[in-house]
A and B are shown apart, each in its own frame.
Chain A
């Protein structure tokens, strides 16, 4: 038995592959293996010797099994190491890309603006692009013979229906169906009959904002738009409010922001003035509140409107508006 163990030990130590180990296991411990044969021969032994021999045989089996496993693990480890030595990659080669699409730059700008105003408690209102003349003009304090109508070259569908020239009609629609407090923005398409060129387009995008509540002040208008300017153009942005005229607000203002390209020193982007005109705003005209069924004695409000196309161009330094509508994939994929 001892001889058998030594023989096995010797042979196993020489083994250098997993197959060899396996065949050695069969040779010594298998059903027809050497140890089994010895055990079978136990029938010729005396009954009192049997347990002793049996115990020895079991010990030998256990020992052989141990060295088999040990050697097997060693060989397996060596083989793994060998394999890993030849497995290497050029980790500078490009990965397999999952192409994510690119949002149109105007949508990206709009998303950013929306986020700011959602954070200020605004919700988003929508309205029709083909609109009643009433909502686009009369309800906005711009009657038929109002000179402000001259400023807007309007596309008409019938005498009562037109393509909205501004997102402001949504103000009226919102006030008609909502009671204050009102805090909405309304982005959308608007139309004016301009031939398309580098800075004009018959179709463009605006975003309107409206706040109506008790105790809303012109200071609130400034405060809200200032926050917007800082969030959108950067914390260092300064703003300037200039008086202006819109039929549906009074007082009316235009807001300039310090040029984000030069910080206000003057450059090509701001036409060397240090300022860029960004939006129009004002306190909602009492006539507009009244016509929309809101009591101007009780409520006040402010409204503002900005051009998404223009802000997109300014933000990304796009010189020609037409690029926004041309949709060259190489353009869109820059954003």
Chain B
């Protein structure tokens, strides 16, 4: 909302500068986002009239003009192409200044003397895009003004315009008077409601209004103005519209917009002669009824929408946009001014359904005050009488089937202070409320408050508390630290601690943490080789995604890790080790009837010179070790994204905790990564569930361990884990530790075989084991390895 201070000051007596007003209003709840100054830096720019315009003798695209500025005639050279002799224009004289510190001096242009500059609207600091064609792309052509008049005076240019961020609960502040009321309350000045007198003609108003849909239209006020002459509106009005960011169009439309800005009530003007029998009917649209709106588009309506109609056709989409069939044109003579109030949710609904938003609809859908309709209509009539050359006919139509009731609230000042933690005297509360136009009556300990009609947002005590607090000043409320509240213990839950621990372990393993988005597309799953019937494809779908490739909620973190790996690889990052902890979304059934499972998942990814399968496995094993998860088994994974011979599924009993390994070469090709990449995905929720970080002390051993090495030759495809299992099963309780220390292939080992060497530690907790005992166990291990696995001692 753009508010001109000069306009604002018509309604409130305030003599402060723009910054002070902006700061004050910001702190009382109307946030000022910016201030734009007009005219401040402009000096020595006057109104001139081109009396002669000739081609420049030495330049094709330049003109030499003789400009009359009243006191003298100046020769000025210009490059503009939109002017002709007879035009009134702004002239910057020798010594003039323009916005941005520009100084104008006389000089010669291609050998021809130029004693100043003809100005464009842009050069005067105005937004040219809002101007009609003839004033754009060149000199700002003016209506006739006295020659030599200062441009600031002619255009009433000098002004400060505040840009407000108006919150949706305050549609009343989308107007000059709304902001004026806030200004008055903030600075404790008086607010002056405009007094409007309409000069009526003799002739009776011929128009009739019938509201059929009283549930959607609460009030309909209308007036008729006869014999208007369509033309430009006065320059001062155009300037105010421009400063508010509204395009001036013609006097009638400008008046409706002007009143909307000033009072916050959108108006519409119909060409009355095109309204059948001058009878306005407010009704629901018929199913499939068609209406061409002012933007030239044909709209197909349904019965949920409200139309303004005459006796035979729809002539407007109530509160949203007028119809083309009754549009004000240059030949319009008689008009009907509509000032109505509509149900906000219905406007919102219609506007959404048709994809049609207008300045009017965006105001109506926030909920407006029906009490302002008459005033707005009168204001428009007054202005039309003055600036559109018409006669306002006698009588105003006001259909208001169910007048709005006033809201009365009772509040307790002591309670309010207790709630705020403040000590505001009741008298000050009353003063604040009165400054906001609330009527207040003291009733014993309590206050009875009558809410002003334009404050539909105030419905309960909490709303009154806010009004008092914001005008008392939030920053005047003393800070406190929950001194009345019970003490609480701030702590992490067990699973939150475990999640943090997981992060710490991964960091300690040298992995960097990444964060990626949650959306994926089918293509992401294609890229990691996920088949069509895979459960990974059963993803939650967004109805209104930003694009097809962001339409699904991710069921796997792998594509994101690979994207990040690619980003880094393509930027020549040589070593990449990363993890992400985030959620995947697994619906039980689609379409969703209940919320999907959100599973916290760890994603790991790495590549680099020293990175292989066992690097990522080491990270995972370290994680399990720290989290106290024992008995994890690794079996070959059959996941299409992974290299079948170099990937593993992690099992804890029957439970699958995750998958990791080398990424399938086809997938790497899809990502255009020419090096081996190792990734993994682990279910963090399950890790947290299975973790056991409770520690218990076991006494240190008193008796020495005996260490024996063993190296056996086995088939290449035999898992080391199998050898270890046989050793452990055979060795029994005296085996303390088994450690693989070598795997060897090459000379002395037959093709298709490998030698695996373990160190075995034997120990008893009760006594020192004898050599004979150990030898006996060790020999039985050698025997069992041979018998069960065909492993030969090397």
Q: Which A residues have a C-beta under 8 Å from some C-beta of B?
A: 98-104, 106-107, 117-124, 128-132, 144-148, 150-151, 155-158, 161, 163, 181, 183, 189, 191, 193, 195, 201-203, 211, 213-220, 222-224, 226-227, 240-245, 247, 250-254, 283, 285-286, 300, 324-330, 332-333
Contact = CB atoms under 8 A, between A and B. Distances in A.
Interface string B478-521: 11111111111111110010000001001111111111111100
Interface stretch (B575-583, B633-641, B669-677, B717-725): B575-583
B243 interface: no
B169 A183 contact: no
19 contacts: A101-B508, A101-B512, A106-B515, A121-B489, A130-B596, A147-B169, A216-B484, A218-B419, A220-B481, A242-B27, A243-B28, A244-B167, A245-B169, A283-B465, A327-B515, A327-B568, A328-B573, A329-B575, A329-B576
A219 B477 CA distance: 6
A223 B567 contact: no
Contact of B474 (A144, A155, A216, A241): A241
Given A219-B420, A285-B462, A332-B512, A244 B31 contact: yes
Contacts of B171: 147
Given A145-B345, A243-B470, A328-B573, A129 B518 contact: yes
Nearest to A201: B517
B542 interface: yes
Residue of B26, B419, B492, B519 with most partner-chain A CB within 10 A: B419
Contacts of A124: 492-493, 496
Given A157-B543, A219-B477, A285-B462, A101 B490 contact: no
Contact of B420 (A120, A217, A223): A217
A112 B567 CA distance: 29
Contact of A157 (B483, B513, B567, B592): B592
B595 A244 contact: no
A147 B466 CA distance: 19
A247 B232 CA distance: 43
B367 interface: yes
Contacts of B483: 220
Nearest to A98: B510
B567 A327 contact: yes
B475 interface: yes
B791 to A, nearest CB: 37
Given A128-B595, A130-B553, A157-B541, A218 B488 contact: no
A148 B585 contact: no
Contacts of B576: 329
B546 interface: yes
B540 interface: yes
A181 B169 contact: no
B485 A157 contact: no
A221 B585 CA distance: 35
B367, B462, B482, B595, most chain A CB atoms within 10 A: B482
Contacts of B540: 130, 157
The 4 closest A-B pairs by CB, nearest first: A219-B421, A217-B421, A215-B484, A243-B29
Nearest to B485: A213
Nearest to B585: A130
B475 A286 contact: no
Contacts of B518: 129, 189, 191, 203
B422 interface: yes
B595 A122 contact: no
Interface in B421-465: 421-422, 460-463, 465
Given A123-B491, A124-B493, A202-B517, A101 B170 contact: no
B583 A129 contact: yes
B546 A193 contact: yes
Contacts of B482: 211, 213, 216, 220, 223-224
Contact of B466 (A144, A219, A242, A251): A251
A221 to B, nearest CB: 9
A223 B492 contact: no
Given A203-B517, A245-B168, A101 B474 contact: no
Nearest to A302: B482
Given A102-B513, A132-B595, A242-B29, A328 B567 contact: yes
Nearest to A132: B595
Interface string B581-613: 001010000011001101000000000000000
A300 B485 CA distance: 10
Nearest to A212: B485
Contact of A158 (B466, B543, B598): B543
A299 B132 CA distance: 59
B550 interface: yes
Contacts of B167: 244-245
B474 A103 contact: no
B460 A147 contact: no
Nearest to B598: A128
Interface string B659-688: 000000000000000000000000000000
Contacts of B510: 98-101
Contacts of A247: 169
B571 interface: yes
Contacts of B545: 155
Nearest to A330: B573
B481 A131 contact: no
Contacts of A333: 512
A227 B474 CA distance: 16
Interface in B136-169: 167-169
Contacts of A217: 418-422, 480, 484
A119 B422 contact: no
B707 to A, nearest CB: 28
B515 A324 contact: yes
B168 A181 contact: no
B365 interface: yes
Contact of A181 (B486, B512, B591): B486
A131 B496 CA distance: 21
Contact of B542 (A132, A163, A213): A163
B136 to A, nearest CB: 30
A163 B490 CA distance: 29
Contacts of A102: 507, 512-513
Given A104-B513, A130-B585, A155-B542, A220 B480 contact: yes
B348 interface: yes
B366 interface: yes
Contacts of A242: 26-27, 29, 31, 474
Contacts of B575: 329
Q: Select the residue from A107, A150, A251, A332 with max chain B CB neighbours within 10 A.
A: A251
Interface in B395-431: 418-422
Given A219-B421, A327-B515, 8 more contacts: A122-B490, A130-B592, A132-B595, A222-B474, A243-B469, A245-B170, A327-B516, A332-B513
A202 B573 contact: no
B244 interface: no
Contacts of B598: 128-130
Contacts of B511: 101
Contacts of B488: 121-123, 181, 183
A223 B479 contact: yes
A181 B485 contact: yes
Given A104-B513, A161-B592, A203-B517, A253 B577 contact: no
Given A130-B585, A327-B564, A101 B507 contact: yes
Interface in B354-383: 365-367
A226 B479 CA distance: 8
Contacts of A158: 543, 591-592
B15 interface: no
Among A201, A215, A226, A300, find the residue whose CB has the most chain B CB atoms closer than 10 A. Answer: A215
A131 B592 CA distance: 11
Contacts of B514: 104, 327, 332
A219 B542 contact: no
Nearest to B357: A150
A283 B481 contact: no
Contacts of B478: 219
